[in-house]
Structure 1
Amino acid sequence: MAEAIVALSTPPGIAGLSVIRASGDGVFDIVDQCFKGKVRISEAKTHTIHYGEFHNKGKLVDFVTVAVFRKPNSYTGEDVAEISCHGGYFVAYAIIETLIEHGCRLAEPGEFTKRAFLNGRMDLTQVEAVADIIHSSSEQAYQTAVRQLAGEFSKRIAEFKKKLLDSAGLLELELDFADEGFEFIDRNIILKSIDETIAFCQELANSYHSSEILRSGYFVGIAGFPNSGKSTLFNALLKRKRAIVSEIPGTTRDYLEETIYIDGFSVRLIDTAGLRATEDIIEIEGIRMVESLLAQSNLILVINDLTQGQTHSDALFFELRERYKASRSILIQNKIDLVESQPQQRDFEIFISAKNNQGLDKIQELIREELRKETQHIKDVLINQRHHLLLKRAGEELRKARESLLEGLGNELVADDLRKAVKTLGEIVGDTFSQDVLNNIFSKFCIGK
C-alpha cells in the first residue's frame, strides 16, 4: 500500500499560482473531504480538471482547481491529485496542512520521482534527467537532459545489453553441445559487439568533464598581481559594476563570483584576490583561497598591467599554467590605453583595455571557442560521476572478455565476463540498485518533486 503524501510543487512565496501535489492510495478520498465541486474527485475521470472550493473545518480556504490522474497513468504511477490555488505563503500551506490532517503526510525530498522509479514509470537515468532539467544552467544542458528523460540513453544501453546477452547465451548453449562441436555464433560477431560496446562506454565516460560544464557552468578564474585590473575586467565582462575598483593594493580580499551567458552557456566568472606578499591576515586568507578557485577553473585569465612591462607577470603566468595543467591559461595584457605603442603579441596573450572595453570581444570569442571544444561531443546524456564510474567498470569487464575470447579460453569464462558487463550497464539504468545509491540521487531533489 502506497502511503498518501503531499507537498508544494512550485517555489514558495509570492506568485500567481501555487500547485500542491498529492499521491498515493486513498488520495482522492482525502481530497474529497476538503473539496466541494460539481464532481467528487474520487468519481472523476482520469486526466480531468475540476473547479471548486477548498475548505478546512467548514471555512473556505480558497477557490481551486484539482487535476485528477489515475494510476498507472500518472507521474508516480499512483493516484495523483494536483491542486492549483492562488500563490502566496499562507494559502498553499493551509491546504497542505489540511490534507495532512485528513491522512496525508509531508513528502520527503524527491519522493514523488522516487515512487515513479520504483513503480517503473522511469529508470534511474531518467530520474537523474529530471534533476538536471530542474537545475539546468544552460540551454544545451536543458535540451540534453530532455532527450535523456525521453529515454534515448536508456534505449542505447538496452541495445548493447541485448547484444551482449545474446552472445553470452549462445556461448553457454555451445557448452551443452561440446561433444558435437557445434558453434552457434561466429566469434567475429562477438568481437564486434564487444568492440562497439567498449567504444560506446569510452566515448560516454570521456564526456564526463564536458557534462559537468553543461551541468554546473564553465568556470573562468581571473588572477594576477594587485592593481593589474582584475576587478575592472570582471565588471566589464558583467557589463555592470559588481567589484570595488581602486588604486589601493589588496582591495579585493575575498573572491567574487557572478554568472554571464554566452551563446546559451552558463559562464561563471571568479574575481580573485591579488597575488602578492602581505602581512594582512585577511588578505593572506583571500590569497590562499585563490589556489582552490583556480583549481576548479576551466579557463584562467592571468591579468598583467602592461604599464609595468609586457613580461612583468610572465613568471606568475608560467607558474600558474604549469600548476593547473588541466585548465587553459591565457595572459591578458591590460591597460593598452596607457602605453604609447603596443608590443608584439605572443601566442599565449591577448591585449585589452578593460577600462575602455577595448579587446573584450577577443576574450568573449576565446570563451566561445573553448566552450565549443569542450561540449561538442555531448549528445543524448549528461554523464555524472555515477555513470562515469560504471561505464569505466563495464569497459574493463568487456576488455577482459575480449582477451579471454582471443586467447581461446573457455566459453564459460567469456560468458561470465559478458554477463558482468551487462549487469554493470544495468546498474546505470537501475536494473539493480542499492539504497545508498537511491538516497544519494534523491537527496538532490526538492520536496515537491
Structure 2
Amino acid sequence: MIPHYSASDTIVAVATAPGVGAIAVIRLSGPEAITITNSVFRGKDLTQQPSHTIHFGTTRDQDKVIDEVLVSLFKAPTSYTKENVVEISCHGSDFIVQQIMRLLLQKGARLAQAGEFTKRAFLNGQFDLAQAEAVADLIASDSALSHEVAMKQMRGGFSLEIKRLRAELVHFASMIELELDFGEEDVEFADREQLRQLILNIQRIIRELLKSFELGNVIKNGVPTVIVGKPNAGKSTLLNELLNEEKAIVSDVPGTTRDFIEDEINIEGITFRFIDTAGLRETTDKVEAIGVERTLQKLSQSSLIIYLFDINTTTPAELEEELAKLNPKKLPLLLVANKVDQASPATVAAFAQLEGLVSISASEATNMETLKQALVEKVNLGKLNTKEQTIVTNLRHYDSLQKTYEALDDTLNGLGLGISSDLVAADIRRALYHLGSITGEITTDDLLDNIFTKFCIGK
C-alpha cells in the first residue's frame, strides 16, 4: 500500500530499467524539483530557464564531479504530473545513478512509491483513472493490438464513452431528486417512459462493452493455446517450428515430453502462449503419468486447443472418439493433421470431410502459414476494428460495468412496479456510482492504492 505522503513532497526515482546501459534517466516531480536539481548541477542556472528545454552540465557532490548529464525541464502545469518535473539523463552505471540519487535525497527529495508519478498526474487532473490504468497497459503491451487498444484508452476513447453514458443518466437522476423536494405536491419532472428508454439504450451499450471484454482479454493477455495429442504425434516438432527455435526435445521415443513447455509468439498482432504438453495415453511410468495429469490441468486453463494427430496412424473413428473425451467444455479447437508428407492420397482423402482440418508436416514446415492463419481465425478477431470499437480490457472496468447493468435492471423493475421516486433515485445513484468508479469520479484511497502499486517505480 502506498503511504500517504504530503502532496507538497518532491519525489525522485530512476525511470529506466535496472541494469547497466548506455544511459539512465532519473525523474523528479514536485514544487522543489528544479531547485533541488539545480543545487547539484553545474551549468546554466536551471531556475532561470524556460520549460521544455534541455541543458548540458555536470552533477557534483560539492567540488567532486560525478557525471556529465543532460537535464530536461518541464515546468508546471505543462508536464506529465502537472507539477515541476525534471529528468536527468546520465551514464547508465549503477554507481553513478546511486551517487546522483543519494545527492538528490540529501537535498530534500524523497523516494517515489510505485506508480506515484502517474497517481499525481491523476490527482492533478491530467487524465482520469481509466486513462491512468491504460498507461500501465501501454508499458506492458507486447503486440500491435495491445499497443493500439492501450493507446486509444490512454487518449480517452473508453473514458469518453463512459462519461457520455453517465452524463445522460445524471440528467434524469437530478430530475428525480428534484421531485423529492416537492414530495408533498405530487409533481413529476422526469418522464418515466423517457427514463425507461434511456436505461434500455444504456444497457444495450453496456452489453456490447461487456461482450468486448473477452476479446479485450485476448488482446491484453494473449491466448493460452495448448498443443495436445498422442505421443509421437509431433507436438514438440510443431512447437519448435512455430517458435523458430529448438525449445522442446524431439525424439522418436514415445513419452519424451514429461512436463509442459511454454513460450509465446505474435501472429498478426495477437500473442499466442503456446504450451507443449505430454502425450495423452495410458502409462505405468509414474513421471510420464504426472505429465499427462498436468496436460489435463492445462487444458482446463486454456482458451484454444490445437489437437495434433499423426495422419498415418490414426483413423477417423479413433479421432472422433478421442475428441469426444478431450473437450467436454467445447473450447475452440483446431484440428491439425501432421506428417502429411508421409501419407498416401487415400489416407489424406479419408480425412478430407473434416471441417476446419489443417494438414501440415511439422518436420518439413509445410503449410505453417495456413496453420497460423487458422489460429488467428479461431480467436475470432476478424471483425474487430480497434480504431472505431471501444474495447474493455480491464477486469475492474468489467466488474463495474456488470454492477452498473444490474443497478439499471433494478431501476427498470422499480419503474415497472411503480415504486416511489426515492427508491428509483437510489437505484440510479447506485448505477452512477459504479460508472463513476471506472473513470475515478468516484474513488477511495484503497482503490487508488490497489491500482497504482501495480505500476513500476518511476512511472
What TM-score does the superposition give when structure 2 sets the normalisation length? 0.91
Instruction: Tell me, yes or no, if structure 1 residue 344 matches structure 2 residue 348.
Output: no
Aligned to 1:290: 295
Q: 2:394 aligns with which of 370, 384, 390?
A: 384
**1:335 — aligned with what?**
339
2:282 to 277, 284, 290: 277
Amino acid at match of 2:441: D
One-letter code aligned to 2:23:
L
Q: Distance between the aligned counterparts of 2:420 and 2:217, measured in 1?
A: 41
User: Could you list the runs of 5+ residues in structure 2 that have no partner in the other structure?
Assistant: 1-5
Asked whether the 8 Å contact 2:248–2:261 carries over to 1, the reply is: yes
Equivalent of 1:363, from 344, 360, 371? 371
* Aligned mates of 1:295, 1:436 — CA distance in 2: 33
Q: Which amino acid letter does the alignment assign opposite residue 267 of structure 1?
A: F
Q: Is 2:421 the partner of 1:408? A: no
**How many percent of aligned residue pairs carry the same amino acid?**
39
1:300 to 299, 302, 305: 305
Aligned to 1:109: 114
Output one character per residue of 1:364-420: Cα deviation in whole Å (capped at 9) or x when no partner: 121121234377265334431111111011001011111222332222222221111
3-state DSSP class of the match of 1:269? Answer: strand
Change (3 A) 1:10 1:381: farther
Instruction: Pick one of 449, 453, 456 that aligns with 1:439.
Output: 449
Residues 94-146 of structure 1, C-alpha deviation per residue, up to 9 Å, x if partnerless? 32222123222222221111222222222210111001000012112111111
| Cα drift, residue 285 of structure 1 | 2.9
SS in 1 for 2:79: coil
Q: Give the match for residue 19 of structure 2.
A: 13
Structure 1 counterpart of 2:357, one-letter code:
E
The 2-side partners of 1:223 and 1:368 are apart by 18
Q: Does 1:32 align with 2:38?
A: yes
- 2:55 corresponding residue in structure 1: 50
- Structure 1 residue 360 displacement after superposition: 2.3
**Residue 257 of structure 2 aligns to a residue in which SS?**
coil
- Kept in 2: contact 1:74–1:80 (CA 8 A): yes
Distance change >3 Å, CA 59–CA 281, structure 1 → 2 = farther
Match of 1:3 in 2: 9
- Most deviating of 308-317 and 410-419: 308-317
Distance 2:444 2:187 in 1: 40
Asked whether the 8 Å contact 2:334–2:375 carries over to 1, the reply is: no
Alignment counterpart, residue 100 of structure 1, candidates 101, 105, 115: 105
Contact 1:204 / 1:383 at 8 angstroms: preserved in 2? no
Q: How far does residue 207 in structure 1 lie from its aligned partner after superposition? A: 1.8
Instruction: State the Cα distance separating 1:81 from its structure 2 match.
Output: 1.0
- 2: CA distance between counterparts of 1:189 and 1:59? 74
Q: Tell me whether 1:230 sits opposite 2:226 in the alignment.
A: no
- Aligned CA distance change for structure 1 residues 400 and 283 (closer, same or farther; 3 Å): same
Indicate whether 1:66 and 2:66 are aligned.
no
Contact 1:255-1:272 at 8 Å conserved across structures: yes
Give the partner amino acid of 1:388: Y
Structure 2 vs 1, CA of residues 430 and 405 (structure 1 numbering), >3 Å: closer, same or farther? Answer: same
In the alignment, is the contact (CA less than 8 A) between 2:213 and 2:391 conserved in 1?
A: no
Q: Partners of 1:7 and 1:256 in 2: how far apart?
A: 37
CA contact (8 A) 1:49 1:66 kept: yes
Deviation at 1:22, TM superposition (A): 1.0
Quick one: distance in 2 between partners of 1:436 and 1:287? Answer: 43
Count of matched residue pairs: 446
Q: RMSD across aligned C-alpha pairs, in angstroms?
A: 2.1
Shift of 1:438: 2.3
Task: Please list, as runs of the form range in 1=range in 2, the aligned pairs for 1:176-325 lying within 5 A after superposition.
Answer: 176-177=181-182, 182-311=187-316, 312-322=318-328, 324-325=329-330
Equivalence for 2:3 = none
- 1:107 & 1:281 partners in 2: Cα distance? 51
AA in 1 matched with 2:287: I
Structure 1 residue 75 corresponds to structure 2 residue 80: yes
Kept in 1: contact 2:215–2:381 (CA 8 A): no
Query: Could you tell me which residue of structure 2 aligns to residue 86 of structure 1?
Result: 91
Superposed CA offset, 1:164-184 (max 9, x none): 111011123234445665443
Distance in 2 (CA, whole Å) between partners of 1:255 and 1:434 is 42
Q: State the secondary structure of the residue aligned to 2:76.
A: coil
Separation in 2, partners of 1:125, 1:351: 44
Shift in Å, 1:195: 1.4
Q: After TM superposition, list the pairs within 5 Å mapping 1:115-194 onto structure 2.
A: 115-177=120-182, 182-194=187-199
Alpha-carbon contact 1:51-1:63 (below 8 Å) kept: yes
Query: Does the Cα contact within 8 Å between 1:17 and 1:86 map onto a contact in 2?
Result: yes
Secondary structure in 2 matching 1:383: coil
